[in-house]
Structure 1
Amino acid sequence: MLKNNAVLVTVVFALTVTVASVSSTFYQLYLSNRAKHIDNIFTKHSLISQIYHTYLIKQISQPMFEANLALYSLEEVTDPRQYEIIIRHGTILKTDGTPDPTLQDVAPLELSFETEAAQPIVISMIEYRGHIYFWVESARHTLLLEDQSVQAYQPVTLVSAYGTIMAILAVSFGLIIYRLRPLRRLRKQIARFGEGDMGVSFRMQGSDEIALIANELENTQNKIRSLIDSRTLFLRNIMHELKTPIAKGRIAATMLSDEKPRQRFQGIFERLESLIGEFALIEEITSGNQHLEKKEYRLIDVIDGAVDAAMADPDTVQTTLDASVKIDADYQLFVTAVKNLIDNAIKYSPDKTVRITMEGEEIVFSNRGEALKNPLSYYIEPFTKDHPTKDSFGLGLYIVDAILKEHDCVLAYERRGDLNCFIIVPLKPTKRK
């Protein structure tokens, strides 16, 4: 799955890394700006401490104390219930002494008035519902002041910037996915073309890179189609034109009075007809114009049909097959492949016999004879053979290999003692009753 969507996975990975990086950066900016905001507000604590200390040692009166606080936009919270709620549920942002982890556990210090002036004043900055409070603690009592000139830190600018960047990334990602969609269509079209569908069209509107590639594929496909059509027409015309002189030659050969030359010429023309037939079959298979009509057949019936097509003596073909084995095949093509294997085995065997057996899912054609001098890949090329004087054009195994590939099979070769074994290996399991 990942291999089939590697580009999409890469884009998603890049987007994820980008979003994570941007989010981490903005979070660090948020923490930094919030800390600076708190530090700026907390600079008031020294002024509050000074005013409160002056009030404690009776240097200013209560009205003067309140006036000094109001001058700096500070107002005392006098409602006991509100005081209790803020102390219990507020968040301590900073303190000039050792902060208490829980506000509700803090109680006024029970010290005498004579010593309270010498006691330290602890000021804590508290945030509650967007408001900033200064909680002043001393030996005598505590005091809660609301700073009306400032508010808690609101990262509106950062949130707006973060949202804008995320929106840009989302739109960019959407555009990338949208621009990559034609690749999926193009991949399916190429797959269809590879399967032999010459009618598929790659034409695509646009002037981007994908459209340019698709349109170049369309042009290439048109050239390939033209070459295939030209080759097919040429081969068919050649084969058609050759059939007429061959037919005339066979008729003329029958008029010869001498038996030996007559048989020789008839053999030559028969070989030419055979060659044309093999050429026609090769052209159909390799050009992709051969439409297989696969059906389910018993393997033993296919072998019998091949023996009849090879016009071989039944005594020369020994079979040990399970009658229940069935194969999905184009009967005519598969019979042709088996016929060629039987012909080869009989032709190159000193005792002119071939044995056909089943080994698991594999069909084995074995005969006595000399081991192959070259790898099997050499013999499945057209017009290759070890004995040029033999009655053969070197197309037998080439045709066998082409037909087997169309049936999801491969041809293999093994040397077992003095036996040559040509093996049809199915890539899919055969069926049994």
Structure 2
Amino acid sequence: MAFNILRKWHMPRSLLGRMLLLTLLAILLAQALSSAIWLSQLRTTQLEGLVTSARSLAYSMNATVTYMRSLPLAYRPLVLDQLRSMGGTRFVVSLNDRPLDMPVLAPTQRKQAALEAVDQVLRQSLGPDVDMSVKFVSPQDLRIFNAGLKLDELPRSWAHFALTLEPVNPPVLVTQIQMAPGEWLYIASLLPEPYTSLEEEGLPALQLWFIALSSGFLLLSIGLLVHWQSRPLKRLARAARDMSLGEEEVKPVEIGGGSEVVEVGRAFNTMRARISRYLTERSQLFSAISHDLRTPITRLRLRVELLEDEQLQLKFGRDLDELEMLVKGALQCVKDTDIHENIDPVDLNHLLDCLIEPYLHPQGNGRVTLQGRACKPYPGKPLALRRCMGNLIDNALKYGKNAHLRIEDHGQAFVLTVDDEGPGVPEQRLEQVFEPHFRLAGQQQGYGLGLGIARSIAHSHGGEVSLQNLRAGGLRVTLYLPRNAD
């Protein structure tokens, strides 16, 4: 499933890009999991600390309530006035004739835990039947006296130092307790640090910086490691491509990298030496065989000329012509597919223009048409590519009267399609026509080697030649040459 998702995201093609992408995904997944666990534990610890701080605050409130209860009714307002004049107290306390009505903040897990802790402590001390309310109020909605005065309307020494933490405006814990009929004790306070805001914080900025820096350092380390390990593979790929294109001298690959890459390099060097020795021996063997065959054929032709029986002379002549055609066909096959050339940038546009020029007509109704252009030169064997495309065009003109060429070059591959107007090829014969000396019924021209040679040259460049019958009639030959090794 993960692999399919990565494919939809267009996974990079290079080993370095894929390693970095997979490493980044693994880092993000591991960091997200560890951060989630750490944040969950942190919030649990903070909630426990919040409840402990709220209970401690409730005990201080209980002491205040107990002290106010111990005072005669007439002395309570005097004591409160004296406390306000002193300023700097932890609580803002007032006596009202009724509970003040204020908007309550929306409950959260932290607010609810703090309210329950304060309510529990006060009811344990004051009795379960005490008439009391505990709630959190926004500083903007806070009211303190019966007159409904706001916090900003009071002297700063009365309440601001106890209930504000500029520039932060944390919620205010308001507790109202009925002391006697018509008398309510009002206590407003803030929770102590670091639980003042009561908001659930996300990951700290320091933690985010740690994740970013550790991920970057790990990606850099892995990128350097993969780059160092992939250099021998790139050298191996270049050497393999040069050898597949028929370079006369492919130097042994420099051994380096990890043990697995070293083993691959050694195996390639061994294979290179064996293939080079095989090609040399094959070339020598074929040269010797061709020489040995031509000599007796020439002698036989001389002896046939000395025969007096014309019928017998004619029969021997036909047999020798057929034998000579087979030898020439074999020579042409080896000559056309085993071309020793250096790999150079080939201007495919110029190459095709030269191939089709003899078939163009000044009035525009020539036997060959061409659409599209190559976007850039192609690194390959110039003569081999010329023979490959020439064979495809000649084959289309020979069996299909006219040839219609179209180029599609999208940067990753060069594609040439050649459509003719002939009878096409039976579906069961589409692969057989690439075999040497194979001809369809009624075809007697040539040696039957053109398509096979074209495919061999395409294979040597890492490409392919394929056939397809057109619905409207005719045959389409497609030459595909990849550019992935440019």
TM-score, scaled to structure 1: 0.58
Equivalent runs, 1:59-78 vs 2, <5 Å: 78=87
Measured at CA, do residues 424 and 415 of structure 1 come closer, stay the same or move farther in structure 2, by a change above 3 Å? Answer: closer
Q: Which residue of 1 aligns with 2:326?
A: 275
1:208-287 paired onto structure 2 within 5 Å: 208-256=259-307, 259-262=310-313, 264-287=315-338
Partner of 2:28, secondary structure, is helix
1:33 aligned onto 2:76:
no
Distance in 2, Cα, partners of 1:52 & 1:204: 85
Query: 1 CA distance for matches of 2:173 and 2:419?
Result: 95
Q: Greater CA deviation, 50-59 or 400-409?
A: 400-409
In structure 2, how many angstroms separate the alpha carbons of the residues matched to 1:322 and 1:336? 18
State which of 423, 426, 433 in structure 1 corresponds to 2:475: 423
Cα separation, 2, equivalents of 1:335 and 1:212 = 42
Aligned to 2:134: 98
**Letter in structure 1 aligned against 2:226:** L
Residues 1:364 and 2:411 are matched in the alignment: no
**SS of the counterpart of 1:2?**
coil
Query: Mind listing any 5+ residue stretches in structure 2 that lack a counterpart?
Result: 1-9, 80-84, 93-109, 119-132, 148-161, 177-183, 374-382, 407-417, 481-486
Shift of 1:190: 3.0
| 8 A contact 1:414–1:422 mirrored in 2 | yes
The answer on 1:190 being equivalent to 2:237 is yes
Equivalent position of 1:377 in the other structure: 431
CA distance in 2: counterparts of 1:333 and 1:110, whole angstroms: 102
1:7 paired to 2:59: no
Candidates 49, 53, 67, aligned match of 1:55: 67
What is the distance in 2 between the residues matched to 1:234 and 1:253?
29
Percent sequence identity over matched residues?
Answer: 13
Is the partner of 1:179 in helix, strand or coil? helix
Determine whether 1:180 maps to 2:237. Answer: no
Tell me, in whole angstroms, the C-alpha distance in 1 between the residues paired with 2:342 and 2:241.
15
TM-score (normalised: structure 2): 0.53
* Structure 1 residues 209-260: Cα deviation after superposition (integer angstroms, max 9, x where no partner): 4554455445444444444444344333433443444444445555555555
> After the TM superposition, which of the residue ranges 12-21 and 280-289 deviates more from structure 2?
280-289
Q: Tell me the distance in 2 between the aligned counterparts of 1:373 and 1:324.
A: 25
2:452 is aligned, of 367, 374, 398, to 398
The amino acid that maps onto 1:4 is: R
Contact in 2 for aligned 1:411/1:422 (Cα 8 Å): no
Contact 2:232-2:256 at 8 Å conserved across structures: no
Partner of 1:322: 366
Q: What secondary structure sits across from 2:134 in the alignment?
A: coil
Q: Does structure 2 retain, via aligned residues, the 8 Å contact 1:203–1:215?
A: no
Instruction: State how far apart, in whole Å, the 1-side matches of 2:369 and 2:317 are.
Output: 41
How far apart in 2 are the matches of 1:27 and 1:100?
A: 25
What does 1:125-144 align with in structure 2 at a 5 Å threshold? 128=165, 139=184, 142=187
What secondary structure does 1:99 align onto? strand
Higher RCO, 1 vs 2 (CA within 8 Å, ≥6 residues apart): 2
Structure 1 runs not aligned, ≥5 long: 66-75, 84-91, 112-124, 305-319, 346-353, 429-433
What amino acid is the match of 2:141? D
Amino acid in the other structure paired with 2:436: P
Matched-pair contact (CA < 8 Å) for 1:205–1:211: yes
Larger CA deviation: 244-253 vs 36-45: 244-253
Alignment of 1:108 with 2:144, yes or no, is: yes
Kept after mapping to 2: 8 A contact 1:250/1:269: yes
C-alpha distance in structure 1 between counterparts of 2:61 and 2:52, whole Å: 16
**Mean Cα deviation higher: 326-335 or 19-28:** 326-335
Residues 423, 289 of structure 1: alpha-carbon distance in 2 compared, 3 angstrom cutoff = farther
1:114 matched residue in structure 2: none
CA-CA distance at 1:57 after TM superposition: 2.8
**1:299 aligns with one of 328, 348, 356:** 356
Matched residue pairs, number? 356
Tell me how large the CA RMSD over aligned residues is: 5.6
| Aligned mates of 2:474, 2:172 — CA distance in 1 | 97
